[in-house]
Structure 1
Amino acid sequence: LNDFLKAIDHAKKDKNIKGVLMDMNNVKGSWASLEEVRNKLIELKSEGKFIIAYADMYFNSSYYLASVANEVYLTNNGELVFNGLSRKLTFFKNALDKLGVEVQTFKVGKFKSAVEPFLLDKMSEANREQNLSFLNSFYDKMLKGISEERELDIYLLDSLADNLIIRNAEDAFQYKMVDSLLYKDQIIEIIKDKLGLDSNEDINTVDINTYNKSIKENVPDIDNKKIAVVFASGDIVDGKGDKESIGGARLSKTIRKLRKNKDIKAMVLRVNSPGGSALASEIIWREIQKTKEIMPVIVSMGNLAASGGYYISCLADTIVAQPNTITGSIGVFGLIPNMQELFEGKLGFSFDLVKTGKYGDLGSMTRKVTDSESSIIQKSVNDIYDLFLTRVSEGRKMDKDMVHEIAQGRVWTGIQAKEIGLVDVIGGLEKAIEIAAAKIDLEEYSITEYPQRKEKPWTFVLDALENKTATKSILKENMGKYYYQYKSISDMSRTNTIQARVPYFIEVY
């Protein structure tokens, strides 16, 4: 995403770039990421560059991005799906019942719905309330953005979606959702006309990835005035983690290293995480606390900075989030599966053990948790939640009771989080960097990114062999949208510590 934004930013000032053609087929990305790209394209358009968007089929998210274009085209007999937003959760309880698996849960917060897929077959009323709340926030932002760029009445747009009025390409054109129904060759002719080319002349084009590689950034040669941008993406896990997770030990080491670098004057932490290990979150929080004693720390939230993702963010001097960032979920839970029925009743296994003390096999998955064990685990969960509230209270300078009122595991959008004091500024990574520079009173500075990229091609092969990134990519490609259901169960099966996380993938359709 950062490379993409840099390319658009450079194109604003590049006299050789006259405009942008956006192929909106198969556009994927989180709403927060789309928001950052969309805002950058609006800046490009303000510099006098034309933007043309086209697709054979638009969906809500791809059309939201396309709506910034000067001209939006849809293929003849194409489709524009404009039907409002929805969110579907997967529940595992009935399947687990059939397998003979009982998931024993320990949590704090009535909105901490992390455990619901293992206990219920549908959303609780509290969970339904919070899901509808942030979905409406997404929807309102989408309608407002389309209304402003397409100059369409927002109430008309709501009616079009609510009543599914756009049912074919002609409807999309009639209601001015698109400017014309054209094939790609006709769009090419329109671009040639804009560039003053004859129909037999070729357009000089470059795709954004090639363009980005060709950019020679005009970065000031300032070695002793640097802003560090640290990317923290994925589940928060104990230990080093891998390329798709935030290892508590690895990220802590990175922050500690840059803190000791006297050339670095401020840190921007880019968080895109559903949370994870409460212990790893606390270890990262400590390194941020130490860093804040030396330099300003600014957090830029991506698509998701919830639960443990908010834990590692809350101490920042300033928190920046997109309107449709998912954040909050200040709550804690623990899970212990009881697989006794599966092993003994269905598979015919039996178990026997010896132990030196009453709690020697605490956490065993082959029996039910006892009442005394349950009390111990629940107290531990309660203590970690209380510590979480304390961290947020101190970091955000809020009364602890007030934090509890807006916590309890509830999820908020960026806009909602700003209204209740969990976020300071609405914006993206670029905004966070600007704030960091202002805090250290620097007009000129260089940016250094962590983790630093490995340029040698064989290092990527070694990484893939070491952390199974290649296997994950294959699974994701072949399982499609069902990969995230698999990942949710897989993540829970590896959980051996108390968690501060949203254990499901949040996607809005």
Structure 2
Amino acid sequence: MKSFFKYVLATITGLIIAGVLAICILFGVIAAMVSSVSSSSEVAVPANAILHISLNHDIQDRPEKNPFEDLDFKGFKSRKTLALSEVVGRIAYAKNDANIKGIYLNLSDVAAGFATLQEIRAALEDFKTSGKFIVSYSEVYTQKAYFLASVADKIYLNPEGTLDFKGFNSSTLFMKDALDKMGVEMQIVKVGTFKSAVEPFILNGMSPANRQQVESYLGDIYQSFLANIAAARKIPVATLFAIANDYKIRNAEDAVTHKMADGLIYKDELLAELKKRLQIKDKKDIPSIALVDYKVKEAPKGDFNTRVAVLYAEGEINSGESSEGVIGSETISRELRKLREDDKVKAVVFRVNSPGGSALASDVMWREVELLKKVKPIIVSMGDVAASGGYYIAAAADSIFAENNTITGSIGVFGMIPNLQNLLNNKIGVRFEGVKTGKYAGLMTELDKPMTADERVIVQAGVDRVYRTFTKRVAEGRKISVAQVDSIGQGRVWSGKQALALGLVDRIGGIDKAIIAAAAKAKIKDYKVVEYPAEKDPFSSLLNSSTEKVKVWFAKEQLGDSYRYYQTIQSVTKNSGILMKLPYEITIN
């Protein structure tokens, strides 16, 4: 009886907790819906105003709309996201908006890759051609923030602030010793001297080949970074290199001395200058609007029955349906088929931002790109990264666009099978025993014993076959020999600028240039740009989604910039089969 009451009490307690959580979520959703409805209308742009750009939010190619975005209650405040097209489009609209007289850049750190920043920077440069001003002010400039700020007519820094300018670094976490202590052996099969995705699991440091490729593409991206700043600030590249190399900017005064900043001022002094530029009397407020609120609606342009479709593929490549941070082969293949069969769609821009993933899923999507190319133009626009499987799905396109600082290439294949025998048998005392009907029935599923020599030969043969297919696909798509692909393949990572010289991409430029090229190839002028897949309403998505999606939304809000580490762990635990992925997650600081 006592046990009965204990279970009843536990059940009641669980129901109460579940009810409270449901009510909290319900109120949250209602609050977000109310906020969404109230914010869906256009925010009036005041006359004689400045556009305030802070970029203190995530910037993705096409983020999934989060129903909790406007949610703000005790203990929880959401992070807004903006699509790259929204950032660029709003800056472009402001260029011709009579109410907008200039831009105030208030940048500290920017959560985006350098190829994304390059497209935003190009939009800012184009804005300046209108004759309107751009003024930048911050207490702290990271290198990414300064990359954008360098476009400004005037760069100001707080007198006690900092400007971080010291060169790039990219590091990798190596786990061999930790795995050894746990009794875990990672059994590796791969093709490609430079295919270093496996190194963190089997080495305690970078191999010479990996160090060579990282130094090469990191140095190339750094040179592009310096060249952009040099042109804007009229400082020689060699001088900028020396400033960073010797870490000459150690305080705010140094930034002015080396002409990286135009002055040291406090916020009140900045406001006074902005008022002077806008010819505002001292006691009046400065009319302004934040970029996230600048939701202007342009008059419809182009013939809706003549479309250039922009299809977004962002994240790691897996089989199945797409989800947050995952390119699902079923989703993208289905969309490519629809675009191929839709007579209104005259050309396609395939926007790829992916480090790769499943070899099988990559080939499934490659097939649909190949079929689409036979009936209408398809142009690939590479984002921050389009490498390994991300390059595989791009290779068949008519033409490929990338930024100088896009990460691409990594034409290589690997398989990684853990051997947990020491961990299970000796560390925690767990053993498996089973029955097999065939000699190889346990291949790649028996993790409590090492692969035999015969099994390793079988797996290696599979990896070799996938690599041959990969190089063949690239050779056919790029119209070069398989031998030439192999010579620049071997898993090696390249910058977009290097890839152009090697023939892996055709043009340097962002998505706007890719759209123009797609329309030109289709020989159309009066067209409408339409984005795919069709965007789902966030609230219907919430009501129809699994608990996994809700967990992702909340994890992103709570973890912020650290969410990518959570994603990496999830990726490692879910990967299976033969993979085509980048050497590791590339983060440039």
Output the TM-score relative to the length of structure 1: 0.97
Instruction: Tell me whether 1:32 sits opposite 2:115 in the alignment.
Output: yes
Q: Which residue of structure 2 aligns with residue 384 of structure 1?
A: 466
State which of 328, 339, 342 in structure 2 corresponds to 1:258.
339
Q: Which residue of structure 2 aligns with residue 85 of structure 1?
A: 168
Compute the displacement of 1:389 (Å): 0.3
- Give distance in 1, aligned partners of 2:152 and 2:359: 43
Q: Which residue of structure 2 aligns with residue 339 of structure 1?
A: 420
- Give distance in 2, aligned partners of 1:333 and 1:188: 56
Instruction: Tell me whether 1:496 sits opposite 2:576 in the alignment.
Output: yes
Q: Which residue of structure 2 aligns with residue 51 of structure 1?
A: 134
Instruction: Tell me whether 1:439 sits opposite 2:521 in the alignment.
Output: yes
For 1:142-291, what aligned pairs fall within 5 Å after superposition?
142-211=225-294, 213-220=295-302, 222-291=303-372
Kept after mapping to 2: 8 A contact 1:329/1:412: yes
State which of 475, 482, 486 in structure 2 corresponds to 1:404.
486
Compute the displacement of 1:467 (Å): 6.5
Matched residue of 2:158: which SS? strand
- Give distance in 2, aligned partners of 1:12 and 1:443: 23
Kept after mapping to 1: 8 A contact 2:184/2:423: yes
Instruction: Tell me whether 1:370 sits opposite 2:452 in the alignment.
Output: yes
Compute the displacement of 1:281 (Å): 0.4
Instruction: Tell me whether 1:14 sits opposite 2:97 in the alignment.
Output: yes
Instruction: Tell me whether 1:64 sits opposite 2:147 in the alignment.
Output: yes
Kept after mapping to 1: 8 A contact 2:109/2:144: no
Matched residue of 2:190: which SS? strand
* Uncovered stretches (5+) of structure 1, i.e. residues with no partner: none
Matched residue of 2:524: which SS? coil
- Give distance in 2, aligned partners of 1:161 and 1:107: 38
- Give distance in 1, aligned partners of 2:554 and 2:192: 37
TM-aligned CA distance change 1:429 to 1:217, over 3 Å = farther
- Give distance in 2, aligned partners of 1:217 and 1:369: 63
The one-character-per-residue Cα deviations of 1:194-230 (angstroms, maximum 9, x if unpaired) are 111111112211111211x22234422x132101100
Compute the displacement of 1:486 (Å): 4.5
- Give distance in 2, aligned partners of 1:135 and 1:32: 13
Matched residue of 2:429: which SS? coil
* Uncovered stretches (5+) of structure 2, i.e. residues with no partner: 1-83
The one-character-per-residue Cα deviations of 1:28-63 (angstroms, maximum 9, x if unpaired) are 211110000001100001111111111111111111
Matched residue of 1:206: which SS? strand
Residue type matched to 1:446 in 2?
K
Q: Which residue of structure 1 aligns with residue 382 of structure 2?
A: 301
Residue type matched to 2:400 in 1?
I
Residue type matched to 1:506 in 2?
I
Kept after mapping to 1: 8 A contact 2:196/2:583: no
Q: Which residue of structure 2 aligns with residue 506 of structure 1?
A: 586
- Mean CA deviation greater in 444-453 or 411-420: 444-453
Kept after mapping to 2: 8 A contact 1:72/1:179: yes
Residue type matched to 2:352 in 1?
V
TM-aligned CA distance change 1:437 to 1:12, over 3 Å = same
Kept after mapping to 1: 8 A contact 2:316/2:357: yes
State which of 423, 429, 438 in structure 2 corresponds to 1:348.
429
Q: Which residue of structure 1 aligns with residue 4 of structure 2?
A: none
What is the count of residue pairs matched by the alignment? 505
Matched residue of 2:491: which SS? coil
Compute the displacement of 1:79 (Å): 0.3
Kept after mapping to 2: 8 A contact 1:488/1:503: no
The one-character-per-residue Cα deviations of 1:443-483 (angstroms, maximum 9, x if unpaired) are 2100111111123x4124246x5263443455456556665
Matched residue of 2:110: which SS? coil
Kept after mapping to 1: 8 A contact 2:255/2:261: yes
Kept after mapping to 2: 8 A contact 1:20/1:50: yes
Compute the displacement of 1:492 (Å): 2.2
Residue type matched to 1:109 in 2?
G
Matched residue of 2:226: which SS? helix
Compute the displacement of 1:92 (Å): 1.3
Residue type matched to 2:259 in 1?
K
Matched residue of 1:409: which SS? coil
Q: Which residue of structure 1 aligns with residue 404 of structure 2?
A: 323
- Mean CA deviation greater in 26-35 or 230-239: 26-35
- Give distance in 2, aligned partners of 1:467 and 1:269: 30
- Give distance in 1, aligned partners of 2:209 and 2:263: 44
Residue type matched to 1:426 in 2?
I
Residue type matched to 1:499 in 2?
L
- Give distance in 2, aligned partners of 1:454 and 1:486: 25
Kept after mapping to 2: 8 A contact 1:268/1:299: yes
Instruction: Tell me whether 1:452 sits opposite 2:538 in the alignment.
Output: no
Matched residue of 2:346: which SS? strand
Kept after mapping to 1: 8 A contact 2:168/2:588: yes
Kept after mapping to 1: 8 A contact 2:92/2:127: yes
Q: Which residue of structure 1 aligns with residue 76 of structure 2?
A: none
- Give distance in 2, aligned partners of 1:230 and 1:483: 25
The one-character-per-residue Cα deviations of 1:384-405 (angstroms, maximum 9, x if unpaired) are 0000000000000011101100
Kept after mapping to 2: 8 A contact 1:484/1:504: no
* The structure with more radius of gyration: 2
- Give distance in 1, aligned partners of 2:425 and 2:266: 63
The one-character-per-residue Cα deviations of 1:407-442 (angstroms, maximum 9, x if unpaired) are 000000000000000010000000000000110111
Matched residue of 1:468: which SS? helix
Kept after mapping to 2: 8 A contact 1:52/1:72: yes
Compute the displacement of 1:116 (Å): 0.5
The one-character-per-residue Cα deviations of 1:357-378 (angstroms, maximum 9, x if unpaired) are 0011111211111111100000
Matched residue of 2:200: which SS? helix
TM-aligned CA distance change 1:483 to 1:214, over 3 Å = closer
TM-aligned CA distance change 1:467 to 1:262, over 3 Å = farther
Kept after mapping to 1: 8 A contact 2:91/2:123: yes
For 1:412-423, what aligned pairs fall within 5 Å after superposition?
412-423=494-505
Q: Which residue of structure 1 aligns with residue 439 of structure 2?
A: 358
- Give distance in 2, aligned partners of 1:54 and 1:9: 21
Matched residue of 1:20: which SS? strand
Residue type matched to 1:231 in 2?
Y
Residue type matched to 2:280 in 1?
L
Instruction: Tell me whether 1:101 sits opposite 2:181 in the alignment.
Output: no
Compute the displacement of 1:290 (Å): 0.7
Matched residue of 1:106: which SS? strand
TM-aligned CA distance change 1:470 to 1:78, over 3 Å = farther
The one-character-per-residue Cα deviations of 1:248-267 (angstroms, maximum 9, x if unpaired) are 11110111112111000000
TM-aligned CA distance change 1:296 to 1:171, over 3 Å = same
Residue type matched to 2:232 in 1?
E
What is the Cα-based RMSD across aligned positions, in Å? 1.5
Compute the displacement of 1:26 (Å): 3.0
- Mean CA deviation greater in 492-501 or 305-314: 492-501
Q: Which residue of structure 1 aligns with residue 53 of structure 2?
A: none
